A and B are shown apart, each in its own frame.
Chain A
Amino acid sequence: MTRAPQLRFLDDGRRLHLQDGPIDLIVEAAGTDKYVRQAYAAAARRFTGLLDELCDELPLLREAADSTHCRLQGRVARRMHDAVVPFAADCFITPMAAVAGSVAEEILGSMIEKAHLDRAYVNNGGDIALHLSRGEHFTVGLADRPDAPGLLRTIVVHGDDQSRGIANSGRHGRSFSLGIADAVTVLARTASQADAAATIIANAVDLPGHPTIVRCPARDLQPDSDLGPRLVTRQVGTLSGVDVDHALAAGAASARKLLAAALIDGAALRLEGEMIVVGTSAIEGSGISAPHRASEPGAPYMFKISEVSKRDEKR
Chain B
Amino acid sequence: MLTEPPAADDKIRCDACPVMCYIKPGAAGACDRYANHNGELVRVDPHILLERTVSHGGRLVPFQATGDWDGKIVQEPNVFVTAIGAGTTYPDYKPAPFMVSSEVDGVDMVTVVTEGIFSYCGVKVKIDTDRYLGPETATVRAQGEAIGHVTTSEYGSQMLSLGGVHHLTGGSKKEGRVTCDALMDLSNCKPVDLTIDGGANVIVQAGYPPIVNGVAEERMRVGCGSATIGMFAKQWHGKVDEVVVVDDHITGVLSEHQAGKLLDVPDTGIKMKGRRSTPGRYFQVAEPGTGWGGTKISDPLSVLGPFDPKKARPGTTMLMVSTTGEHAAYYELDEALRPIERELPSDLRASVERIQENCEPALCTVLFMAGAGGSLRAGVTDNPVRLTRSVRDALTRVTSGGAPVYVWPGGGITFMVDVTRLPAGAFGYVPTPALVAPIEFTLRLSDYAALGGHMDHVRPLASLKDNLGPLHASSPAQPKVRT
Seen from chain A, the residues whose Cβ lies within 8 Å of a Cβ on chain B are 3, 7-14, 16, 20-22, 24, 30-31, 33, 36-37, 40-41, 44-45, 51-52, 55, 58, 119, 144-145, 147-152, 174, 220-224, 296-298, 304, 306-309, 311-312, 315
In this assembly, does B289 line the interface, its C-beta being within 8 Å of a C-beta of chain A? no
Surface stretch bound by A, among B61-69, B126-134, B140-148:
B61-69
Seen from chain B, the residues whose Cβ lies within 8 Å of a Cβ on chain A are 8, 11, 16-24, 27, 29-33, 53, 58-63, 65-66, 69, 71-75, 84-85, 87, 97, 115, 173, 177, 184, 188, 425, 427-431, 433, 436, 459, 463, 465-474
Residues of A within 8 A of B60 (CB): 8
* B173 closest partner in A (C-beta): A297
Interchain CB contact (< 8 A) of B84 among A31, A44, A149, A223: A149
**Sample of 18 further A-B pairs with CB below 8 A, known A10-B61, A11-B59, A298-B177:** A9-B62, A11-B473, A12-B471, A13-B473, A22-B31, A33-B465, A36-B71, A51-B19, A148-B184, A148-B429, A150-B430, A220-B24, A296-B431, A297-B173, A307-B470, A308-B87, A312-B469, A315-B463
Interchain CB contact (< 8 A) of A14 among B27, B430, B459, B466: B466
Task: Report the bound CA distance from A145 to B72 in whole Å.
Answer: 31
Task: Report the bound CA distance from A150 to B53 in whole Å.
Answer: 22
A152-B431, A297-B431 known; A222+B436 contact, CB < 8 A: no
Contact assessment for A44 and B65 in the assembled complex, using a CB-CB cutoff below 8 Å: yes
Interchain CB contact (< 8 A) of A7 among B11, B65, B188, B430: B65
Task: Report the bound CA distance from A315 to B98 in whole Å.
Answer: 11
Contact assessment for B16 and A13 in the assembled complex, using a CB-CB cutoff below 8 Å: no
Contact assessment for A149 and B63 in the assembled complex, using a CB-CB cutoff below 8 Å: no
Residues of A within 8 A of B31 (CB): 21-22, 24
Contact assessment for A33 and B63 in the assembled complex, using a CB-CB cutoff below 8 Å: no
Contact assessment for B73 and A3 in the assembled complex, using a CB-CB cutoff below 8 Å: no
Task: Report the bound CA distance from A174 to B28 in whole Å.
Answer: 10
Task: Report the bound CA distance from A33 to B72 in whole Å.
Answer: 9
Task: Report the bound CA distance from A145 to B425 in whole Å.
Answer: 11
A14-B73, A33-B71 known; A21+B16 contact, CB < 8 A: yes
Task: Report the bound CA distance from A45 to B63 in whole Å.
Answer: 12
State how many angstroms separate the Cβ of B392 from the closest Cβ of chain A: 30
A22-B19, A33-B71 known; A223+B11 contact, CB < 8 A: yes
Residues of B within 8 A of A37 (CB): 69, 71
Closest 6 CB pairs of A and B: A21-B17, A149-B428, A55-B18, A150-B428, A22-B31, A223-B22
Contact assessment for B436 and A149 in the assembled complex, using a CB-CB cutoff below 8 Å: yes
Interchain CB contact (< 8 A) of A297 among B11, B75, B85, B433: B433
Contact assessment for A30 and B467 in the assembled complex, using a CB-CB cutoff below 8 Å: yes
Contact assessment for A306 and B87 in the assembled complex, using a CB-CB cutoff below 8 Å: yes
Interchain CB contact (< 8 A) of B61 among A11, A36, A148: A11
State how many angstroms separate the Cβ of B258 from the closest Cβ of chain A: 54
State how many angstroms separate the Cβ of A220 from the closest Cβ of chain B: 8
Contact assessment for A306 and B473 in the assembled complex, using a CB-CB cutoff below 8 Å: no
Task: Report the bound CA distance from A309 to B469 in whole Å.
Answer: 8
State how many angstroms separate the Cβ of B50 from the closest Cβ of chain A: 12
Task: Report the bound CA distance from A37 to B75 in whole Å.
Answer: 17
* A30 closest partner in B (C-beta): B467
Interchain CB contact (< 8 A) of B63 among A8, A144, A298, A309: A8
A13-B72, A307-B467 known; A52+B18 contact, CB < 8 A: yes
Task: Report the bound CA distance from A308 to B8 in whole Å.
Answer: 50
Contact assessment for B73 and A311 in the assembled complex, using a CB-CB cutoff below 8 Å: no
State how many angstroms separate the Cβ of B259 from the closest Cβ of chain A: 52
A-B contact pairs, 16 of them (CB 8 A): A11-B472, A13-B61, A20-B17, A22-B32, A22-B33, A37-B71, A45-B65, A51-B18, A58-B19, A119-B467, A145-B184, A148-B429, A174-B32, A220-B24, A308-B469, A309-B469
Task: Report the bound CA distance from A10 to B177 in whole Å.
Answer: 32
State how many angstroms separate the Cβ of B425 from the closest Cβ of chain A: 6
Residues of B within 8 A of A308 (CB): 87, 97, 469-470
Contact assessment for B27 and A222 in the assembled complex, using a CB-CB cutoff below 8 Å: yes
State how many angstroms separate the Cβ of A120 from the closest Cβ of chain B: 11
Residues of A within 8 A of B173 (CB): 297
